Structure 1
């Protein structure tokens, strides 16, 4: 046994040696593989990635200290076509034997496949980074430029290439920065009176500030700011090329005296070029062509309208109400030219889904002798009146082993001639579940199903009885949506019917902010097969049978079947009723057993009761992600929801009577009353070279009150699953330290924290390490189990921790994800025995998902 560590060490040393040799397989004897760049600033080693990014050559990417991509690249043959031919010719009869088995064409295809495989390996891997003197000099110059652009005008840069053993080398860069230059005075030299007036009016917003260290980026940002400023204040012909800067540092003792230079407009007439002052331009006319196409360009206009100064034209009969068109146009007759008005018009017209991307052109008004009036021509090309859509998907979850979904939709545009859209959609799915309850069609492969339909009407404005323009102006792209839906589920046993109606408003105050208000969100959920409860929730059923069979308990024999177990549903329900009501038919039940029966009864009542949710909610989202490929962003979401307040007030005012539990009902259903909040924060850091660090923090709580003492199942929280704590299956974690004793565990308080380091392996294959932390608890509701409830901060000891790794393949339009989660800290275990007790592959949870979890 004592020899094993030595053997293991020898094995690792041997493996490390071969990997080390393989890394320089493609490196020539007179070349050096770059292993490290080091930058010293004034004698001190620095680690700032933004400075290292200035270096042209970077070492091959490493994973756990090994250049995996380089090793993969080295698997490819240098001349695969020659290698294949040498192999083919090596034995005299090999060609003839292959041609007897395959055709000559197939043998050629084998060669092409071999060559193609080698090319793919090279493309997917990473070629060795060889130290090149010329690129090192360019890196030196680039570092010089970086320090210069950040105020160190006198910085000196040098480098040293340091050969190492086994055809490897390092490069050290030495930076002596000296004293930085500070911006001192800021002067202007502006040729146009109009430009000078606008500049001075907004000088307080200047991005060049006295007393700060010089940065070229500040001057570039100021150029962008001024260009936007002038073009949004009527200066139609202004362009960035008219702005320049002078920086005087002669004899200033490390001070920069800056001058902002804005030249007059350059105008060419014939062979003569002259500078003329800029002017403010005003929109004199706005012409809108509502059905412009390439074929219509020479046709005469046959229909027109004038609305609030806008000229609206159509080559055929006008199909739109004038207001619907002008509400989406921010360019207004009589106002000065603004670039933002054009951009907002583009965005708003596109968001209507009625027109294709519009074309907006400006021209000088020929009737204006001052050449300051502009005519805006807006060309709109309608989308087809009707659009059909179909979708199909295959899915898998912890409940559904295999599922097939399908659906279709019909979109009718401009349904009331006010740019409204009406959509009818239907969906359905069938699936196979090994969890299907007893009594269901288990002998059938597809034993669960759902079918539903929705109708939706979308208005391009806030649909209110009063004007909302003052606090939700049209540049925020407001929409109102009315929707109705119905669905029927034949799921794993209880089956449900769901009716919902929503009145929704949404608007975007800025590029990064979005608001959504469900003024009315009404949902009715009816359980269709409640008698099947104990077939579905087998854990609860087994607990009841353990009590019945404990030896001390005596109950009515009519409750028991021939196998000595409670009859479903009557036997189990009667036994629960006897225990709760202390009926003499059942005796010998201990205090702990009675509490367990009470817990089972409470959960059964809560999960089988019909739900009526009459609520409202508001969602605030701040997301600075610029596009799909932006890997450095943050997202914050806050949601608050209330339900039941309107119905409670109505019931009280009308003198409605309460039932024997002290609750109001509507149409025989006790409506829900609660307040619920959710806070979700996501942050991604791009560390370069496809290395991304991402975190997420989530907290949510739903508190019942008034007409309710619990939260409906569909509004509660659960933990676990591929997008949450991946060391547990969905619904398997919590509440608290209970250990997920029920089939579907949920609660009304949730905390979740996730961290993930993502990196590229090669090509489109990525990987990640992750840590997931969180749990759910019951708080301020009907649940009394101390292991499941959150009563103080000491209950945070029951937070679960999972960790693991995963693979992700990027198909560009979606990411296929496979994660392996391991239970690192399991709160279901006794204190002192929670860390790393099931930290092995036999207890791992394997998750398959689409796209990243956050």
Structure 2
């Protein structure tokens, strides 16, 4: 059967090949008499003084300018032209389909040699080849024609000197002041694109110095190529017809802010009726919807200031980023017989209050999959200062498809209050930023109930007082000056207590915890605002400090049994830092190579021997090491996370230190379907040995960090599919472990044990991960 099938395949392959050859030879059958099919063009650049690499660039650029383009080809065959030729004269469905999806032949008569010669000549002159000559010719054979263009570039002229306006007026002096930053460089080749860039640079700099009406088109650059030695002098000047008003610097006169503007009820906006004058600003708000203080903090210029485009744009951005206004517009009017500008801002508020609900699906790194219902009430101007008050109530369910609590559903419900004030609120200090983004003081209060059915319930209280601010769209800071978390166990079942008897480390899951500290987070995302699959870097750094002042005040020393309590609970004391660095590289048009390194460093001391459970690290799961169950690897060479008790229960394993490395290639397959090939490595470790209080034996043998940590990394590999429909990305990954750190040294690599044909191997090693969104 295999031989017969092979012969049939070979037979059909030959038939297909013959069909393709016949189709390729038949492309001229509908070419009219006296015409020829245009098959393309070649460009030859002749200049021995131009380096080969530059000659290749020039050739490619010139080839891209020539029109028309020949019929498109695949594997050297114009399939679309073949489809078009297959269409008959009748106007039926099949012929319409063939014409629509095909291409009519590109004829030689549509090629305008003189026009192409002029385009190529102008392009070369714009690059400094002032004596370039281009010739062209066509060759016709068997009703097919091609064109050849020969470009003799001549010498490329270089820049010798650049002269800027030397008048004593303000605008000439302003240009002289910024001339040291010119992009014209002596010795560089003349290029018209550089000339255009220099005009834009000068205009942008003048806009920062008050020249509101000036334009790049008001400048002209004269080129003197007669000085000899293939050099040019450039003279930057003003066009003779530029009006004087465009050469003047303008200052801000009056600023009018219409903070409750409505297009349907708009009146004349040049009057000061019903306005409040507050620190240089006229605020028109008859209903007193906003406090005038808001606009003093948003505006980055005042009356009397020189116009500045950066301040202008950033003021608009700050008003937009408040999240309070639906529309933000402004305009400038010249005050008669002066060089002053009246400024008008029209702000249309969003509805002050809103109520919304949403239902969403989620997947977590612990392999939990579920849904959540959230009801949100929002007040966008809670205290007339553009404060954002959000009260959320939520109810969610999760099912863990694999991992520690497989088969035990989770319910999570609670409420959260968030208040964001659009300014820094710091006692005894008056701070404000001058960038495009509004700083915020945030207050958060939250309460959660987590119920793991048949196991236990946890009450969680949290409170935060912090500050958020952005340097730019890519750089963001978040400081929680006061961060409080209190976790209290409730309703611990007998089943879970039996699990604890098998795995004493599980007791930490339901420990009463009190954390009082501060956190600082810095995020840098180079990909913000860029195209999909772009090349760039992402970095997130976290510093978490807790219990230091309390530890010093109470003399806590957990290592020597001096554990201190606060409100009846031991408080946590630790230092923690985490660094998440990612590098994305675009491959081709629609594919990407993604890389991630996570380093987590936790150091418990004073009142703690180990990090609190909710602050510890873990690896494994659909956003981590995808060839291992969630929270199943480590710490170190500890094997307890891989062994179930007689009830089929797998314990969570966590650590104080973490190292994780991921790399993934994401090719686009077709349409909305993407693929993935990935490799993951990582583990967690403990800083101190944790011992059983009765037997004094280590609970995690091999779990402490040592110099051999690289030999203790777990490694997996896998493939995946992604369905990207813009608003939602569904992900399916399948992975297998190729290195197991809990095995004896020398036996940890299990690559040679892979056996997809064995059902026993598949059930123990093949891990499926279903997720929403990319893993990183």
TM-score bucket (shorter structure): 0.7 to 0.9
In the other structure, the counterpart of 1:667 is 567
Give the C-alpha shift of residue 25 in structure 1: 9.4
Give the C-alpha shift of residue 716 in structure 1: 2.3
**Secondary structure at the counterpart of residue 770 of structure 1:** strand
Say whether 1:709 aligns with 2:617.
no
Give the C-alpha shift of residue 391 in structure 1: 0.8
In the other structure, the counterpart of 1:587 is none
Partners of 2:147 and 2:225 lie apart in 1 by 34
Give the C-alpha shift of residue 374 in structure 1: 0.8
Return 5+ residue gaps in structure 1 as ranges.
Answer: 87-114, 268-274, 536-567, 577-599
| Superposition map of 1:406-421 within 5 A | 406-421=373-388
Give the C-alpha shift of residue 16 in structure 1: 7.2
- What are the Cα deviations for residues 158-184 of structure 1, in whole angstroms up to 9, with x where unaligned? 999999xxxx99999999988765433
**Secondary structure at the counterpart of residue 313 of structure 2:** helix
Give the C-alpha shift of residue 359 in structure 1: 1.1
Partners of 1:500 and 1:694 lie apart in 2 by 35
Q: CA, structure 1 residues 677+280, in 2 after alignment: closer, same or farther (shift >3 Å)?
A: same
In the other structure, the counterpart of 2:183 is 207
Conserved? CA contact 1:501–1:523, under 8 Å: yes
- What are the Cα deviations for residues 291-345 of structure 1, in whole angstroms up to 9, with x where unaligned? 111122127976331111111112x322221111221122311101111222112
| Superposition map of 1:523-672 within 5 A | 523-531=485-493, 534=496, 568=498, 573=501, 600-601=503-504, 603-627=505-529, 629-644=531-546, 647-653=547-553, 661-672=561-572
Give the C-alpha shift of residue 611 in structure 1: 2.1
Task: Indicate which of 406, 426, 429 corresponds to 1:464.
Answer: 426
Q: CA, structure 1 residues 18+150, in 2 after alignment: closer, same or farther (shift >3 Å)?
A: farther
Partners of 2:112 and 2:727 lie apart in 1 by 38
In the other structure, the counterpart of 2:458 is 496
Partners of 2:193 and 2:755 lie apart in 1 by 50
Conserved? CA contact 1:42–1:176, under 8 Å: no
**Secondary structure at the counterpart of residue 745 of structure 1:** coil
Give the C-alpha shift of residue 84 in structure 1: 7.7
Partners of 1:790 and 1:318 lie apart in 2 by 62
Conserved? CA contact 2:604–2:610, under 8 Å: yes
- What are the Cα deviations for residues 563-594 of structure 1, in whole angstroms up to 9, with x where unaligned? xxxxx26xx64xx8xxxxxxxxxxxxxxxxxx
Conserved? CA contact 1:244–1:261, under 8 Å: yes
Conserved? CA contact 1:827–1:834, under 8 Å: no
Give the C-alpha shift of residue 766 in structure 1: 3.5
Q: CA, structure 1 residues 157+789, in 2 after alignment: closer, same or farther (shift >3 Å)?
A: farther
Partners of 1:26 and 1:640 lie apart in 2 by 63
In the other structure, the counterpart of 1:515 is 477
Q: CA, structure 1 residues 619+832, in 2 after alignment: closer, same or farther (shift >3 Å)?
A: closer
In the other structure, the counterpart of 1:585 is none
Give the C-alpha shift of residue 29 in structure 1: 2.4
TM-score by length of structure 1 reads 0.72
Conserved? CA contact 1:42–1:177, under 8 Å: no
Task: Indicate which of 719, 724, 733 corresponds to 1:810.
Answer: 724
Say whether 1:478 aligns with 2:435.
no
Task: Indicate which of 228, 236, 239 corresponds to 1:263.
Answer: 239
**Further displaced range: 733-742 or 718-727:** 733-742
**Further displaced range: 764-773 or 44-53:** 44-53
Give the C-alpha shift of residue 281 in structure 1: 0.5
In the other structure, the counterpart of 2:706 is 791
Q: CA, structure 1 residues 688+468, in 2 after alignment: closer, same or farther (shift >3 Å)?
A: farther
Task: Indicate which of 424, 448, 472 corresponds to 1:487.
Answer: 448
In the other structure, the counterpart of 1:744 is 652
Conserved? CA contact 2:125–2:131, under 8 Å: yes
Partners of 2:706 and 2:601 lie apart in 1 by 14
- What are the Cα deviations for residues 376-430 of structure 1, in whole angstroms up to 9, with x where unaligned? 0111111111111211013355766752310111111221111112111111112
TM-score by length of structure 2 reads 0.78
Say whether 1:726 aligns with 2:626.
yes
Task: Indicate which of 349, 353, 359 corresponds to 1:392.
Answer: 359
**Secondary structure at the counterpart of residue 196 of structure 2:** helix
In the other structure, the counterpart of 1:290 is 259
Partners of 1:773 and 1:684 lie apart in 2 by 16
Partners of 2:58 and 2:93 lie apart in 1 by 44
Q: CA, structure 1 residues 85+202, in 2 after alignment: closer, same or farther (shift >3 Å)?
A: closer
Partners of 1:22 and 1:229 lie apart in 2 by 64
Give the C-alpha shift of residue 845 in structure 1: 3.3
**Secondary structure at the counterpart of residue 357 of structure 1:** strand
Structure 1 vs Structure 2 CA RMSD: 4.9
Partners of 1:610 and 1:15 lie apart in 2 by 73
Give the C-alpha shift of residue 476 in structure 1: 4.5
Task: Indicate which of 296, 307, 316 corresponds to 1:326.
Answer: 296
In the other structure, the counterpart of 2:33 is none
Partners of 2:610 and 2:12 lie apart in 1 by 60
Conserved? CA contact 2:203–2:214, under 8 Å: yes
**Secondary structure at the counterpart of residue 467 of structure 1:** coil
Partners of 2:741 and 2:151 lie apart in 1 by 53
Give the C-alpha shift of residue 776 in structure 1: 1.8
- What are the Cα deviations for residues 33-92 of structure 1, in whole angstroms up to 9, with x where unaligned? 999999999778999999689748799999xxx99xx99x99xx979x999899xxxxxx
Conserved? CA contact 2:487–2:514, under 8 Å: yes
Partners of 1:494 and 1:296 lie apart in 2 by 59
Conserved? CA contact 2:461–2:485, under 8 Å: yes
In the other structure, the counterpart of 2:754 is 838
Conserved? CA contact 1:703–1:781, under 8 Å: no
Partners of 1:717 and 1:852 lie apart in 2 by 20
Give the C-alpha shift of residue 689 in structure 1: 2.9
Q: CA, structure 1 residues 666+351, in 2 after alignment: closer, same or farther (shift >3 Å)?
A: same
In the other structure, the counterpart of 1:313 is 284
| Superposition map of 1:681-692 within 5 A | 681-692=581-592
Give the C-alpha shift of residue 736 in structure 1: 4.1
Partners of 1:524 and 1:195 lie apart in 2 by 63
**Secondary structure at the counterpart of residue 170 of structure 2:** helix
Q: CA, structure 1 residues 810+678, in 2 after alignment: closer, same or farther (shift >3 Å)?
A: same
Task: Indicate which of 666, 675, 679 corresponds to 1:758.
Answer: 666
Conserved? CA contact 2:353–2:377, under 8 Å: yes
Task: Indicate which of 448, 459, 484 corresponds to 2:410.
Answer: 448
Conserved? CA contact 2:416–2:446, under 8 Å: yes
In the other structure, the counterpart of 2:693 is none
Conserved? CA contact 2:43–2:59, under 8 Å: no
Partners of 1:532 and 1:23 lie apart in 2 by 74
In the other structure, the counterpart of 2:26 is 29
Partners of 2:401 and 2:309 lie apart in 1 by 60
Conserved? CA contact 1:452–1:486, under 8 Å: yes
**Further displaced range: 317-326 or 631-640:** 631-640
